[in-house]
Each structure stands twice: as C-alpha cells, then as structure tokens.
Amino acid sequence: MNWKIIVPLTLLVLVLTFLITTQFGGKKPPVTGPTQIGQQPSAKEYPEEPSFKLPIATGDIDEATNSFLMDSLEEKSQLVKALDEDVAIVDLDREAINDFAQVYNENDF
C-alpha cells in the first residue's frame, strides 16, 4: 500500500480509539435512587407543593373562563410590579450617573 493511505488510516483509528475509550471507558455515575426494594425515598427527593391552590374542576365553561381570567390578572399584576421595580433600579442608576457628572466639571480646570 501507499504511505499516503496508511498514515491517515492509522491516525483515524487512533483518534477513534481515543474517543471511544474516553466516552465509554469512564466511571459509571453513582446511583441516586433507592437501592433496596421497598425503601422509600427521603422527603427531600419529592418536589415541593405548589404555592397556589388549583380550582376545583367542575366542567363548567364559565368557571374555567373566570379562573383563566383571574390567573391572567394575577400574572399581569406581578408583571406590573416587576416592571415598577425595574424602573426604580434604572432611576437609581440614572441618579448615580447624574451625580457623577456633577462631580466632574470641565470648567474647574
């Protein structure tokens, strides 16, 4: 065979061998779940209960619509509150920049 074929094929085999051994030859991750049959997971493994209360499902369209509207109004009020907080932060930054601009006066020099 020609050396122009043998050298690239050898390099390719070496690279593939390296990749396979690094991907599949490592340590297995530790088991995080219960290891014995019948063992209950600890309370920390369960997700927390949601902070909101779900409405009772009655199948009435009007109740579902009202529930949806109440949720959207609550989200809107949270959004308005977050936007007000952002505006307050921007105002504080603007005041700090203006204070810095007043400290530096070109005409004093």
CA distance 104 to 109: 10
> Does residue 94 belong to any structural domain of this protein?
yes
Print the domain residue range for 100: 60-104
Per-residue pLDDT tens over the stretch 51-79: 667 667 778 888 888 888 988 999 999 99
Percent of the chain whose pLDDT exceeds 70: 65
CA distance 92 to 53: 37
Average pLDDT, the chain: 79
> Does residue 52 belong to any structural domain of this protein?
no
> Does residue 13 belong to any structural domain of this protein?
no
* Total tally of structural domains belonging to the chain: 1
> Does residue 18 belong to any structural domain of this protein?
no
In three state form, how does the secondary structure of the chain look?
Answer: CCHHHHHHHHHHHHHHHHHHHHHHCCCCCCCCCCCCCCCCCCHHHCCCCCCCCCCCCCCCHHHHHHHHHHHHHHHHHHHHHHHHHHHHHHHHHHHHHHHHHHHCCHHHC
